[in-house]
Amino acid sequence: MDQNNQYKSVFLSDIHLGFSGCQSDKLDLFLSNLKCKELYLVGDIIDFWAMEDNFFWPDIHTKILDRFIELKEQGVEVKYISGNHDDPLREDRIIEDLYNRGEPYHMIINQLDKLDHCERYDFMSKKHGKILLIHGDQYDSVTTNAKWISKLGGLIYDGLIYINRPLSKRLKALTKRLVDGASGFHKKVKNECQKGEYSGLMCGHNHRPEIKKFESHFYLNTGDWIESCSAIVELMDGSIQLIKVDNNNNITKAAEL
């Protein structure tokens, strides 16, 4: 086991189980060696949007859900913060409708019921104060005000994954930058931090892993497991890092707070 794969807290988002572009084998290897006290799943862990259009759920996706539950049973604190692609978790009526479709939704939802869900969570870090954990779609005006456009964009992106992964990554990054600018994303993050007296905010959503420091707050993005295969981690000494994982489960530090 890599000594670096032992942490106080681990933050993952945008895994997109249920979408064939998810790099599930790489994530499974990472989770199989993971040692931590706390695991935070920061949204879009399940991709109900993708399953609605083209149902896809291989055994490896069940295995990953099982790993989250196994970690919880081993004493790891596991929190699941919902995102826009797993937004049925935000409404009991919608999740009940999915459950009533029968298998394999029964299995997926029964497994999800074993985890604690919320839409936002106040995380008290060891060295960096109080951090808001939230998926981030709440600050994206396209997702919140024109969901159909967001879904259409997702379908185009998903299709490009199969044709040209590097091109899809560049187009996704460009689109997200434009949306972030039009939405006033970072201004909303700053306002949220000031309003809630947070030292910083951590989210996913835009698939752009990064750590940014501003005068009044800091911003952390966990990235995704479609392209970047990244996570934010808090070490035992309280340091917070952005890490990336390669095909052999080698872990490299990409940035540090």
CA–CA distance, 247 with 158 (Å, rounded to integer): 21
Q: How far apart, in Å, are the Cα atoms of 237 and each of 75, 198, 240?
A: 20, 21, 9
In the block, residue with structure tokens 């080698």: 250
pLDDT at 2 over 60: no
CA–CA distance, 77 with 221 (Å, rounded to integer): 21
CA–CA distance, 179 with 143 (Å, rounded to integer): 10
- pLDDT tens digits for range 80-103: 999 999 999 999 999 999 999 988
pLDDT at 147 over 60: no
Mean pLDDT of 28-57: 94
Contact between residue 217 and residue 198 where contact means Cβ atoms under 8 Å apart: yes
Q: Of 238 and 152, which is predicted with more confidence?
A: 238
Q: What is the DSSP string of 124-177?
A: E-SSS-EEEEE-SGGG-HHHHH-HHHHHHHHHHHHHHHHH-HHHHHHHHHHHHH
CA–CA distance, 119 with 233 (Å, rounded to integer): 20
- pLDDT tens digits for range 212-232: 999 999 999 999 999 999 999
Task: Give me the residue spans of the domains in the chain.
Answer: 3-256
Give the pLDDT of residue 182: 44
Give the pLDDT of residue 157: 56
- How does the average pLDDT of the chain come out, rounded? 88
Give the pLDDT of residue 148: 46
pTM: 0.86
Q: Which DSSP category does 236 fall into?
A: T
**Which numeric CATH code is attached to 3-256?**
3.60.21.10
- pLDDT tens digits for range 119-137: 999 999 999 999 999 999 9
Give the pLDDT of residue 104: 87
pLDDT at 153 over 80: no
- pLDDT tens digits for range 154-211: 555 565 555 555 655 555 555 555 555 546 888 999 999 999 999 999 999 999 999 9
The amino acid occupying position 234 is E
Closest CA to 20 of 152, 154, 156, 162: 162
Give the pLDDT of residue 53: 77
Residues 6+ apart with CB under 8 A from 39: 9, 10, 12, 68, 71, 76, 77, 78, 79
pLDDT at 145 over 70: no
Q: If DSSP states are collapsed to H, E and C, what string results for 170-224?
A: HHHHHHHHHHHHHHCHHHHHHHHHHHHCCCEEEECCCCCCEEEECCCCEEEECCC
